[in-house]
A and B are shown apart, each in its own frame.
Chain A
C-alpha cells in the first residue's frame, strides 16, 4: 500500500526554519537522509521531494478560454507543503511509524521538531 507523508508549514514557520544555524540545518538534513537511506534499504522508499519556499508559489486556474490566470497571494493562515515522502508499506501503522521518525528529526539545539506529518493513502484509480 502506498502512502504519502506530507510535511507542511505556514510562511511564518518557514521563516523560522530560515533562521536556523547551518549546523542545525545540517543535523536535520543528516537525519532525514539517514531515514531515506533506511527506507531504500528496506525496499519501502518510492520518492521524496522538497519544495521551494511559499514565496515561489502561485495558484493558477483556467480562464473561460482556457488561458491560465496566476495569483501569488495566499492567506496568512495557509499551510504550504514543504516536502513529502512516498512509501510503499505493509500497513498503515508502518506508515505512521515512519512519519513519527520524520517528526522526531532534530530542530534548533538538537531538540526534535515533533512537527505533525499528514499521512494519506493513494487512491486506486479511477475512483468509484
Chain B
C-alpha cells in the first residue's frame, strides 16, 4: 500500500521564523538525519520518492480564466499551511507508515532537540475515484 507523508511548515504569517533562522550546525544535523532516514527507506525498498519544496514566497496559485489562460496569484490566506516536503512509501500496513512518519517527526531541530512536528499520512489512490 502506498502512503504519502506530508510535512507542513508554519503558516504564511509565521514565515521567516522557521528553518532559515537555524544555525548551520543545526541545519546540517537536521539534513543528515533526513538523508539517513531516506537511505534506510531505500535499503528496505519502502521509499518511492521524497522531495523538498522551495519556500512559500515562491509559491503561486493558478486558475484558469474563462478562455483557459492561467491567472496567477502569490497571495495566500494567513492561516494557510504550506507543504515543505513529502515522502511516498510503499509499506504493508498503515502502522508501518505511521512509524516512518514518527521518525521524520523526530528529526532534530535547534540545539538537536527533536522537532516532534505533525506529519500528515494519507493513502494514495490506486485508481480514479468511482
* Bound-complex Cα distance A101 to B31 (A): 36
Q: Are A81 and B62 in contact (CB under 8 A)?
A: no
Which B residues are in CB contact (< 8 Å) with A62?
102-103, 105-106, 114, 116
CB closest chain-B residue, reference A99: B62
Q: Are A51 and B122 in contact (CB under 8 A)?
A: yes
Query: How many A-B contacts are there with CB distance less than 8 Å?
Result: 165
Out of A56, A57, A119, A125, which one reaches B52, CB within 8 Å?
Answer: A125
CB closest chain-A residue, reference B4: A51
Q: Are A67 and B102 in contact (CB under 8 A)?
A: yes
Which A residues are in CB contact (< 8 Å) with B121?
57-60, 70
With A4-B53, A70-B98, A81-B83 as known contacts, state yes or no: A104 contacts B64, CB within 8 Å: yes
* Bound-complex Cα distance A4 to B85 (A): 11
Out of A47, A59, A112, A121, which one reaches B118, CB within 8 Å?
Answer: A59
Tally chain A residues at the interface, Cβ within 8 Å: 55
Which B residues are in CB contact (< 8 Å) with A58?
94, 98, 120-122
CB closest chain-B residue, reference A2: B51
Q: Are B61 and A52 in contact (CB under 8 A)?
A: no
Which B residues are in CB contact (< 8 Å) with A66?
102-103, 106
Which A residues are in CB contact (< 8 Å) with B103?
62, 66
B38-72 CB contacts (< 8 Å) to partner A: 49, 51-55, 58-66, 68-72
A selection of 9 A-B contacts at a CB cut-off of 8 Å is A49-B2, A58-B121, A66-B103, A68-B101, A71-B118, A86-B51, A99-B70, A101-B64, A104-B64
